[in-house]
């Protein structure tokens, strides 16, 4: 194995490890790991050059630890072969597709099944001398990929550049670009750096998925089939799972309804009622659903408006991306493209009504042109009703005069803005630091790591840029607030800190409690379980000294102290 190949393997394994760490927290996936073009073999089919390191199974911390330890022992335990036999009738790539297809064939139906190929070899059959054998292997490998697609398996490529050659995706495009596999065809560029590889695998975790299929009704009798995608979905921390303290098994939560009159458990489907003139009008669940359903039409076109009428603050929630569905209604792509191009040409957006089971929403369909990573299509902007709009509060009263900025102050603000201009900034490159910190802590505990790796908080300002702009910021502040502003603020803060008589009394009590708290060895008392022997007033000495709440019974106070001590 060459140096470039060895470094690419290390990159790939490290990137997979990082991906597994994120996947075990953020998703509930089954994962299998298979190496091909190996010296040793390990698979049920006994195919040469294919090593199944991990069968398809739930992710676990032990699997990630074992995979990490494989980094240094890969050549010893598995090994790599540089090339296959020159005129072999079988090839590791073809056999690997066969093996992973068998791994994914069994299991739950109606779930997404994907195979991600990570490689830096853009011509897997280049070392085969016999042209007929080479052509036959290419054909059978493509057919194997087609068979996998028929089983609902998506094949995706993560390509790696080598220092002396850029990856050519000509062959791999033939085994990844199939009908219904648009995400694989819209692959990112081959990675030349480790960070790019990690980012590519991270994006593959949350690839574009169809959220809903619907019909756009234009006039009467004309329907365009659409597929909707959620391109932005807020990332939230994983939910807590309550477990039994005795066996650490997850607890099952059940909810039952009890009749307020008889106290009997309710087993029949519940009904709802609305009061009208003192009487209870009862509705079943189906009745409520029928009442809420305003229209059977999923998406009805109302007309078109100028883009200047659409304001940025009209968006009630993250937009949805729509794309034509040619399979559902033939001709949808042609009609969609015609509408899209006309809207771009006239600078218009389409106003439509979106109907779901329980809501009826006004939406704007905004044509999006292909630019950079974006693709042609339309974004569904969820518009507010008049009931949802709140007028802006007036920040000037009729009594006080309206202050206006002078031309000099505007010029100073302009200089400050120019100095703080962000170059090469993209919001898509910034991760939530609080979320990442929580993930790292969970990873460290789950993988039994002693140290928690530092989180780079990309939301913090660039200190060098701020330092360069500090001179202009000071001039701007002095011109607006005056040169004595800092001194006046310091005097105001000192007066506020001094506070009134009540604040002085609380401060004195805290200082006294801090002195009295030093007479007790609180850690030793907590470890020995002797906090219960103290009186409530003695416990409050610790709480008062550390600024903790004083309310509650004795057991609550003890628990509060133990929590503060980290016990």
**φ and ψ at 404, to 5 degrees?**
-125, 145
Distance (Å, whole) CA 524 – CA 11: 49
166 and 39 assigned to the same domain? yes
Residue that terminates a domain, selected from 333, 361, 388: 388
Question: Any idea what the CATH number is for the domain that residue 489 is in?
Answer: 1.10.1600.10
- Element counts in the chain: helices (H) and strands (E): 17, 15
Helix 536-545 × helix 554-565 angle, to 10°? 40
Query: Is 505 a member of any domain?
Result: yes
Please report where in the chains the tokens 């993988």 appear, as a residue. Answer: 447
Query: Is 228 a member of any domain?
Result: yes
322 and 268 assigned to the same domain? no
383 and 317 assigned to the same domain? yes
Residue that terminates a domain, selected from 496, 520, 544: 496
Q: Which pLDDT belongs to residue 179?
A: 46
Query: Is 242 a member of any domain?
Result: no
Write out the residue range of the structural domain in which residue 434 sits.
Answer: 407-496
483 and 508 assigned to the same domain? no
Query: Is 244 a member of any domain?
Result: no
Question: Any idea what the CATH number is for the domain that residue 225 is in?
Answer: 2.40.290.10
Q: Which pLDDT belongs to residue 183?
A: 45
Tokens describing residue 366 = 């905004």
What does the pLDDT look like over 403-418, one tens digit per residue? 678 888 888 889 888 8
48 and 182 assigned to the same domain? yes
Distance (Å, whole) CA 214 – CA 225: 6
186 and 222 assigned to the same domain? no
**CA separation, residue 179 to residues 175, 186, 349, 444 (Å):** 11, 13, 30, 42
Query: Is 395 a member of any domain?
Result: no
Q: Which pLDDT belongs to residue 342?
A: 94
Centroid of chain to Cα 380: 20
130 and 30 assigned to the same domain? yes
276 and 425 assigned to the same domain? no
98 and 185 assigned to the same domain? yes
Tokens describing residue 270 = 């519940």
SS (H, E, C) 464-515: HHHHHHHHHHHHHHHHHHCCCHHHHHHHHHHHHHHCCHHHHHHHHHHHHHHH
What does the pLDDT look like over 255-306, one tens digit per residue? 888 888 888 888 777 777 888 888 888 887 777 777 766 667 789 999 999 9
Q: Do the Cβ atoms of 171 and 131 come closer than 8 Å?
A: no
Tokens describing residue 385 = 């009703």
Buried-state track 98-110, b at ≥16 Cβ within 10 A, e below 16: bbbbebbeeeeee
342 and 420 assigned to the same domain? no
Q: Within 106-230, where are the H helices?
A: 131-150, 170-176, 182-185, 194-205
Query: Is 33 a member of any domain?
Result: yes
Q: Which pLDDT belongs to residue 309?
A: 92
Structural domains counted in the chain: 5
229 and 311 assigned to the same domain? yes
16 and 75 assigned to the same domain? yes
Q: Secondary structure of the chain: what % helix, strand, coil (to 5)?
A: 45, 20, 40
Q: Which pLDDT belongs to residue 180?
A: 45
Query: Is 514 a member of any domain?
Result: yes
Question: Any idea what the CATH number is for the domain that residue 7 is in?
Answer: 3.40.50.410
Q: Which pLDDT belongs to residue 379?
A: 93
Residue by residue, pLDDT tens for the chain (567 residues) are 443 555 778 888 888 888 888 787 767 788 899 999 898 999 988 888 899 999 988 888 888 888 888 888 888 888 887 655 544 566 888 888 989 888 887 655 567 788 888 888 888 887 787 888 888 888 888 888 888 888 888 888 888 887 777 888 888 888 885 444 444 444 455 665 666 667 766 666 655 567 788 899 988 778 999 998 888 878 777 777 888 888 888 888 888 888 888 888 887 777 778 888 888 888 877 777 777 666 677 899 999 999 999 988 888 888 899 989 998 889 999 999 999 999 999 999 999 998 876 678 899 999 988 765 567 889 999 999 888 887 766 555 555 556 678 888 888 889 888 888 888 777 777 888 888 888 888 778 777 777 777 778 888 887 887 887 888 888 888 888 777 767 766 766 666 666 556 667 777 777 888 888 888 888 888 888 888 888 888 888 888 888 888 887 888 888 888 888 877
Distant-in-sequence, close-in-space partners of 565: CB < 8 Å, separation ≥ 6: 522, 523, 526
pTM of the entire predicted model: 0.61
For 161-309, where are the E strands, in sequence order?
Answer: 210-218, 222-229, 257-258, 265-266, 272-276, 279-283, 299-306
Residue that terminates a domain, selected from 171, 189, 207: 207
Q: Do the Cβ atoms of 513 and 541 come closer than 8 Å?
A: yes
Distance (Å, whole) CA 299 – CA 472: 52
Query: Is 249 a member of any domain?
Result: no
């Amino acid at each position: 194995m060459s140096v470039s190949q060895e470094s690419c393997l290390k990159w790939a394994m490290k990137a997979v490890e990082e991906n597994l760490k994120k996947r075990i927290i953020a998703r509930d996936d089954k994962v299998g790991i298979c190496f091909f073009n190996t010296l040793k073999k390990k698979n049920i089919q006994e195919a040469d050059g294919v090593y199944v390191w991990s069968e398809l199974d739930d992710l676990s911390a032990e699997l990630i630890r074992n995979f990490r330890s494989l980094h240094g022992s890969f050549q010893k335990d598995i090994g790599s072969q540089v090339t296959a036999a020159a005129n072999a009738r079988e090839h590791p790539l073809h056999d690997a597709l066969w093996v992973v297809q068998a791994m994914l064939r069994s299991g739950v139906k109606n779930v997404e099944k994907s195979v991600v190929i990570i490689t830096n070899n853009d011509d897997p059959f280049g070392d085969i001398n016999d042209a007929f054998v080479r052509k036959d292997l290419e054909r059978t490998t493509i057919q194997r990929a087609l068979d996998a697609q028929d089983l609902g398996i998506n094949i995706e490529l993560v390509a790696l550049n080598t220092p002396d050659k850029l990856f050519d995706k000509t062959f791999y495009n033939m085994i990844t670009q199939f009908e219904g596999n648009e995400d694989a065809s819209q692959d990112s560029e081959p990675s030349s750096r480790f960070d790019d590889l990690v980012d590519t695998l991270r994006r593959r975790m949350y690839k574009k998925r169809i959220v809903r299929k619907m019909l756009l009704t234009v006039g009467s009798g004309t329907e365009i089939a659409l597929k909707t995608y959620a391109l932005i979905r807020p990332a939230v921390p994983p939910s807590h799972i309550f477990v039994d303290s005795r066996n650490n098994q997850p607890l099952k939560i059940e909810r039952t309804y009890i009749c307020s009159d008889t106290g009997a458990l309710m087993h029949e489907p519940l009904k709802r009622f609305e009061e009208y003139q003192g009487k209870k009008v009862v509705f079943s669940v189906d009745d409520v659903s029928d009442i809420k359903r305003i229209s059977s039409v999923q998406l009805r076109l109302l007309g078109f408006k100028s883009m200047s009428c659409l304001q940025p603050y009209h968006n009630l929630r993250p937009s949805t991306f729509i794309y034509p569905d040619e399979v559902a209604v033939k001709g949808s792509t042609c009609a969609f493209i015609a509408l899209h191009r006309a809207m771009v040409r006239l600078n218009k957006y389409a106003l439509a009504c979106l109907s779901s089971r329980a809501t009826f929403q006004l939406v704007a369909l905004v044509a999006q042109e292909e630019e950079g990573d974006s693709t042609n299509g339309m974004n569904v902007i969820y518009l507010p009703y008049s009931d949802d709009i709140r007028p802006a509060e007036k920040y000037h009263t009729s009594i006080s005069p309206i202050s206006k900025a002078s031309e000099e102050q505007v010029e100073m603000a302009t200089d400050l803005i120019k100095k703080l201009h962000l170059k090469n900034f993209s919001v898509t490159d910034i991760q939530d630091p609080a979320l990442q910190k929580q993930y790292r802590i969970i990873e460290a505990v789950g993988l039994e790591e002693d140290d928690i790796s530092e989180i780079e908080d990309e939301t913090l300002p660039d200190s060098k840029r701020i330092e360069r702009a500090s001179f202009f910021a000071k001039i701007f502040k002095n011109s607006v607030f005056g040169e004595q502003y800092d001194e006046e603020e310091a005097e105001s803060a000192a007066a506020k800190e001094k506070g009134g008589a009540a604040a002085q009394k609380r401060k004195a009590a805290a200082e006294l409690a801090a002195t009295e708290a030093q007479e007790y060895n609180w850690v030793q008392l907590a470890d020995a379980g002797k906090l219960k022997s103290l009186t409530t007033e003695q416990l409050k000495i610790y709480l008062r000294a550390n600024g903790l709440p004083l309310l509650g019974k004795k057991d609550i106070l003890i628990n509060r102290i133990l929590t503060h001590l980290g016990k």
